[in-house]
Amino acid sequence: MANDLRKFVNPKFLKTIDLALLRRLFERQPPPPAAAAGRGFDLAVFDSGDDAAVRDALAAFFEGPEDELPPGLVADLHHIAELGTEHGMNLLLERARRRQVVIEVPMDAQGEPLPVDPKHFALLAFLDHRPVFDAASDMLAKELRSSFAEYVGRDEGVEPRLDIVARAAFEAAAAEMFRRDHRGAHCRVGWYEDGDQINLIVTHGAPVSTVPVIEAGQERVISFRSLEHAVLSYHAGSGRLGVAGISKARRADLAEAFAAHLLGRPGFFAGEDCQDLYTLERIERTGLGFEVDHAFDPGILRVDIVEVALDRLGAPGRAGDPPVVEACYVTRDFGERPNALRRIGEHTDWVAFGPGRYRIGHAVFRVLFEARRGRRPASVTVKVKPPSIAAFKRQRYEARVMELLRRNRFCREREPAEAAVAAE
């Protein structure tokens, strides 16, 4: 983390940043206790009128060890650095447009906007447009999540309650859970509706970490607490909830908090088959000659099977016992027209699927989508790992990828609880 901060607050940044912005960032910080008064920055330096002297003082201040800087300033700078890139700037502009907000940038003598470095733009948004900044930070966190553990509820079509009381109750429950896990008291939830899907980005503290750093030729140990993001995505029509960015041990707890406070249905995601969502049994029934069918979508150019995991199963045990995996063999093919299944067949013909033999542990597909306006085709990598994971970057092609999985029977058909009762 120390290296990341110095990369952000580098000499170029300190020589070109608007000093008024940096002053406002420093003014956000509470005064240090008397015992640590020497670790602060004397804001009177900004009143000297000598910009070069101010920048020299800032450079000397940031040269010191990170753990001796005001912790609030360190946290702010790390948060700003996440969006201090060209992509971060685009996210900020997109979120500003959605909110009909104009982020004013400095003007030259002729009244024309000056070119703005992404780092400067992120700092400006952080100080003057915090709701826009937080929304862009949430979208970045969502983009970085590709592996969602999914839960299917007992019924379909259960709409979430998104009033102020329900939201506050969920946020309080999440904050208490993270506090018990020694992740600090900070917890903020961003709420984003997308048709009949609701996305939640839960920003919370991480456990305190200690890392060794080399300074002046000597090793020192510093401690810090960063921010982490958990992402929840709920589709009311199908009753599915995806949870990402949180430890496996806590996913069910966060899903239960969602069910209890936002759906008013405690235990909604606690059914026996709540995570039995995906299967690769169709590949096993077809054999190594299986090919993905994508003819229904003319915009998909092809689908390549680039990786397959074969699990060697032990002899069948008692009825109901999960199979014991004795060994796992992974085959990859990244050639011009890859097919990992075909590659297995080229090397052996003894693979047989079933109890005491083999199963497909996971499969990775590369889906090539037709490009628009002369651009290169877009490639999306999808990993299906039964029973509960279909991992891929979900920003743009989620609906089409999920339809591809359904059409090829990789998604288990499930009868909601109410329909099952009616059928009886």
The reported pLDDT for the residue numbered 146 is 65
**Res. 106: pLDDT tops 80:** no
Using CA of residue 135, residue 137, residue 143, residue 146, what is the dihedral sign?
negative
pLDDT tier at 423, thresholds 50, 70, 90 = very low
**How much is the average pLDDT of 236-241?**
87
Helix/strand/coil for 95: helix
What pLDDT, in 10s, does the model give residues 252-290?
A: 899 999 999 999 999 999 877 788 889 999 999 998 889
Residue 109: pLDDT band with limits 50, 70, 90: low
pLDDT over 80 (residue 213):
no
Name 312's Cβ contacts closer than 8 Å, sequence gap at least 6: 325, 326, 327, 328, 329, 357, 358
The pLDDT > 70 percentage for the chain reads 83
- The whole-number average pLDDT for the span 358-386 is 89
Average pLDDT over residues 289-296: 94
Residue 388 contacts by C-beta under 8 Å, 6 or more apart in sequence? 149, 150, 151, 275, 276, 277, 278
For the chain, what percentages of helix, strand and coil (3-state, to nearest 5) are there? 40, 25, 40
Running DSSP on this structure, what letter comes out for residue 163? Answer: S
Instruction: List the beta bridge partners of residue 189.
Output: 202
pLDDT tens digits, 22-41: 999 988 877 655 444 445 67
Q: Report CA-CA distances (Å) from 254 to 159, 161, 228, 266, 341.
A: 18, 16, 15, 12, 37
Q: pTM of the full predicted structure?
A: 0.66
Distance, in Å, from the CA atom of 395 to the CA atom of 380, rounded to the nearest integer, reads 11
Residue 310, token pair as written in the block: 């074969």
Residue that the structure tokens 């996913």 belong to: 251
Q: Which pLDDT score is estimated for 334?
A: 85
The beta-strand segments (E) located in 69-164 are 149-152
Residue 326 burial (CB count, 10 A): 11
Predicted local confidence at residue 153, as pLDDT: 87
Which residues 6+ apart lie within 8 Å of 340 measured at CB? 305, 306, 307, 308, 331, 332, 333, 363, 364
CB contact at 8 A, 232 and 259: no
pLDDT confidence of residue 412: 86
pLDDT at 2 over 80: no
Average pLDDT over residues 74-78: 84
Query: Any idea how long the chain is?
Result: 424
Lowest mean pLDDT among 115-119, 393-397, 403-407: 393-397
Residue 312 binned pLDDT confidence (cut-offs 50, 70, 90): confident
Higher pLDDT pick, 413 / 12: 12
DSSP H stretches of helix in 226-363: 248-258, 281-286, 340-347
Quote the CA–CA distance of 19 and 421 in Å, as a whole number: 67
**Amino acid 422: pLDDT:** 39
What per-residue confidence (pLDDT) applies to 319?
64
Task: Decide which of 84 and 70 is more confident.
Answer: 84
Question: What are 137-192's pLDDT values in tens digits?
Answer: 988 888 777 678 888 888 888 999 999 999 999 999 999 998 888 777 788 899 98
Q: Which residue has the higher pLDDT, 286 or 64?
A: 286
pLDDT category at 219 given cuts 50, 70, 90 is low
| Span 323-347, average pLDDT | 85
Confidence at residue 40, expressed as pLDDT on a 0 to 100 scale: 63
How many other CB atoms sit within 10 Å of the CB of residue 126?
A: 25
Q: State percent of the chain over pLDDT 90.
A: 32
The pLDDT mean for the chain works out to 82
